[in-house]
Structure 1
Amino acid sequence: MKKLILSTLMAGALVMGTQAQDDFNKWSIDINGGFNKAMAPMTPGYHSQVIGLGHGDLGVRYMFNEKFGTKLDFGLGSFSNAADNPEFSTNYYRLNLQGVANLGRIMNWETFTQRVNLLGHFGAGIGQVTPQENEWADFKDNTYNFIAGFTGQVKLGERVSLNGDISTIINGRQNVAFDGASSIGMGDAGYYGANAVWWTGTLGLSFYLGSKSTHADWYIRENKYATKEELANQIGEIRDMLKDSDGDGVPDYLDKEPNTPAGARVDSHGRTLDSDGDGIPDHLDKCPFVPGPASLDGCPPPDTVEEVDYLLKAINDGYVNVYYAFDSAKPLGYSASSISYVANFLKRNPGVSVELKGYADELGPEDYNMKLSERRAKAVYDVMVASGIDASRLSYKGYGEDTSVDKRSADARQLARRVSFEVR
């Protein structure tokens, strides 16, 4: 019983520890600047710089949790010609809505580092490419685009991190080459599909907003569990609750009679039993199920009652039972006196035999409860044989669920988890 209660309380404490509200900031502002490269389309003979300095972007990001989020970002810059190539200069901008995946948390990078992280992002948006020179100078080429990339992070503090991003952008419906010297989709050909490719590589900073101590980028879900010290304190408190000061098998926090005398027979609430109501507790009553005066130690005068009749009636009418904890086939400690009582009855009356009848409550599968009820009856059988009762005088059987009690009531279900006796 104590093990069952201890396990239940410890599980409850851990579950409560994991149900706190989100303990991290969700908003950030991302500022980056760096390089770009126009890949295609380019007019034959024109080439862009291998790594052209001239790109910047500003983003606002929101994380739904520590693994996934979204961001809206604006980027702008210009492409220019490589050395010893025909000159050109083309301005551009883009506006994108993207989904963000915190790959470091998804892949559990915290197992080897808590200062380096990786984000992935993908989305779509609109943009404009405006050549400043050549045939299509000042033509405002409106496009749609797709963007995908990776952002490496180095944590500088709880409010800021260093970013390094590489992104590939694909423009759709672009009409002119990046150099502005030729058309790729004007006239009868109409608009082309996603036919322009460029990329950016930037460095920057993320500034974290909010009142929490850390941001979703760096939040580790396991931190919501209790620390070793907190868990040790919780276990200590639970152990204190489960102390059984009077040794009656019922923990103090459930015991409604915490000073029960040693050896007393008690109910599930730790209260001393007086089964026959004669004012003498069962542990002091030599005839606990037959009323009698204190002068005869609770037994009736020998010439006024047939003991077998009274004891048999008490047993067969269900006043003597062995009780069990939930899903257990081990008798509860306070039930040992019931086994002793029936064993003593058999020893004093060698001409009778007893059937042990096991029951279970209605929780759980029916076939499982049938087997559990039989294991309970077999457990009492084994104790009685070990106490000296001939096995030929005993039989046992599992009767499965006791449906006579209200299964919504915990106390009623306790009464159902039992082994009863039938004298034959």
Structure 2
Amino acid sequence: MKKIILSTIMAGALALSVNAQEFNKFSLEVGGGFNKPMAPLNRAYLSPTLNLGHIEFGARYMFNEKFGLKLDYGFGSVREAQGNDSQSLPFNTKYFRLNMQGVANIGRIMNFESFTRKFGLLLHGGAGIGMVNPEENQFNDFDDNVYTFIFGITPQVKLSERIALVGDISTVLNGRQTVTWDGAEFIYPDISNGFYGANGTWWSGTLGLNFYLGKAEQHADWFIAADKYATKEELATQINGIKDMLKDSDGDGVPDYLDKEPSTPVGARVNSAGMTLDSDGDGTPDHMDKCPFQPGPASTNGCPAAVEAVAEVDYLKKAINDGYVNVYYAFDSSKPLGYSVSAANYVSNFLKKNPGVSVEVKGYADELGPEDYNIKLSEARAKAVYDLLIASGVDASRLSYKGYGEDTSVDKSSADARQMARRASFEVK
């Protein structure tokens, strides 16, 4: 029971800790590197495998640790492949693009934290506008306005809580591109045909930095909601506080934070709230009452006058048979709750004082769960008390036990009533 309570309280404390956390959502991005126009190019012009000449800037906002938006601007120029063995005619074309893109943090979506907390991965894609502006050949200074689609992947390396090193590889499709990248000819003989379709294709590869903005400790790129721990010192303080709550100072089986009477004497019989029981209501608590089920004055230790003592056996038998003496259990358990074990001790004492009687232990379960399972559970509960009585010195020939399954006499919608149903009762034969 204590383990269950401890786990529940710790889970709640950690959940509150997580919910209290916030993360930064804004970042600025800068990068530079290579580009390569793929198509279209005139046959006499060749582009280099890697052309150094691309720069980009961006601003990003994350709605949460998994998804966001970014606006970025990229520009640069492309030239012909150079070198002694190059067979390309010269060209020089400038370009720019402006795109709005959706961003997915694959590192959080795929739980990279299970194997690394330094490396991340973003996917991005979107659309925008751009321009291709040849500066040489037939269409030099022609402003070729295009629309663009962009898709890319961005690996990340966390350098600090404020900066990350990033690489990016993006493919860009230019729509309505009219002239070739080299500026030497129209894509189509009829210029109007170039107003349809994604006619231009190119890609860029960059290396750069992300700068994280905000007052929180972490940015959404690296925030792990399910793993946002308190510090070791804070967690140790919380656990120690919980342990203090679960102490049972008087040893009655009820932890202090639930115990309404935390200083009951050793051996006292208590209820689920830790309060001393007085079964016969005579003012003498059961642990001091020599006749706990017969009212009597304190002068006779709770027992009635001598003339009435002869009825004790019948009175105790009636109290036991009428269900005033029970051992209780937690849900789905056949281990008696500590505070109720003393009921078995009273039955044991009764049997020892009255060697001519025998007792049947009757096990019950609440109505939760399958009926056949509850039959087995109720029998296991009866058997547990049967074993306690034998261990206390009662001869097995005077005892029997049976599981009676579900107690349908209680309100199964009430948690308190279901607790009363999870019991072992006794019947004196």
TM-score, reference length from structure 2:
0.87
Residue 368 and residue 127 in structure 1: after superposition, are their counterparts in 2 closer, same or farther (change >3 A)? farther
What displacement does 1:406 show? 4.5
What is the count of residue pairs matched by the alignment?
Answer: 423
Equivalent pair of 1:90/1:133 in contact (CA under 8 Å): yes
Equivalent pair of 2:71/2:101 in contact (CA under 8 Å): yes
Question: Corresponding residue for 1:260?
Answer: 264
Equivalent pair of 1:128/1:143 in contact (CA under 8 Å): yes
Which residue type is aligned with residue 177 of structure 1? T
Question: Corresponding residue for 2:399?
Answer: 394
Distance 1:34 1:46 in 2: 22
Segment of structure 1 superposing worse, 302-311 or 275-284: 302-311
What displacement does 1:37 show? 1.5
Equivalent pair of 2:178/2:191 in contact (CA under 8 Å): no
Question: Corresponding residue for 2:134?
Answer: 131
Question: Corresponding residue for 1:235?
Answer: 239
Question: Corresponding residue for 1:180?
Answer: 183
Equivalent pair of 1:162/1:205 in contact (CA under 8 Å): yes
Question: Corresponding residue for 1:59?
Answer: 58
What displacement does 1:267 show? 0.9
What displacement does 1:287 show? 1.4
Q: Show the 5 A alignment for 1:128-167.
A: 128-167=131-170
Segment of structure 1 superposing worse, 35-44 or 58-67: 58-67
Which residue type is aligned with residue 68 of structure 1? F
Segment of structure 1 superposing worse, 27-36 or 82-91: 82-91
Q: Deviations over 1:96-137 (max 9, x none)?
A: 232323344456555676555443323333433233333344
Secondary structure in 1 matching 2:307: coil
Question: Corresponding residue for 2:220?
Answer: 216
Q: Show the 5 A alignment for 1:5-404.
A: 5-18=5-18, 20-83=19-82, 85-106=88-109, 114-187=117-190, 190-191=193-194, 193-221=197-225, 223-304=227-308, 305-364=310-369, 366-404=371-409
Residue 319 and residue 106 in structure 1: after superposition, are their counterparts in 2 closer, same or farther (change >3 A)? same
The CA RMSD over aligned residues, in Å, is 2.9
What displacement does 1:417 show? 2.2
Equivalent pair of 1:174/1:185 in contact (CA under 8 Å): no
Segment of structure 1 superposing worse, 206-215 or 183-192: 183-192
What displacement does 1:277 show? 0.9
What displacement does 1:333 show? 2.1
Residue 340 and residue 109 in structure 1: after superposition, are their counterparts in 2 closer, same or farther (change >3 A)? closer
Taking only the aligned residue pairs, the percentage that are identical comes to: 69
Segment of structure 1 superposing worse, 147-156 or 29-38: 147-156
What displacement does 1:338 show? 1.1
| Structure 2 unmatched ranges of 5 or more | none
Distance 2:324 2:97 in 1: 84
Q: Deviations over 1:347-387 (max 9, x none)?
A: 33344333322223445555544433222111111111222
Pair 1:421 & 2:426 matched: yes
What displacement does 1:14 show? 3.3
Segment of structure 1 superposing worse, 395-404 or 32-41: 395-404
Secondary structure in 2 matching 1:373: helix
What displacement does 1:258 show? 1.7
Residue 33 and residue 381 in structure 1: after superposition, are their counterparts in 2 closer, same or farther (change >3 A)? same
Distance 2:302 2:285 in 1: 9
| Structure 1 unmatched ranges of 5 or more | none
Equivalent pair of 2:47/2:81 in contact (CA under 8 Å): yes
Which residue type is aligned with residue 161 of structure 1? A
Q: Deviations over 1:193-249 (max 9, x none)?
A: 444321112233322221112212233446512333322222211111122222212
Segment of structure 1 superposing worse, 34-43 or 225-234: 225-234
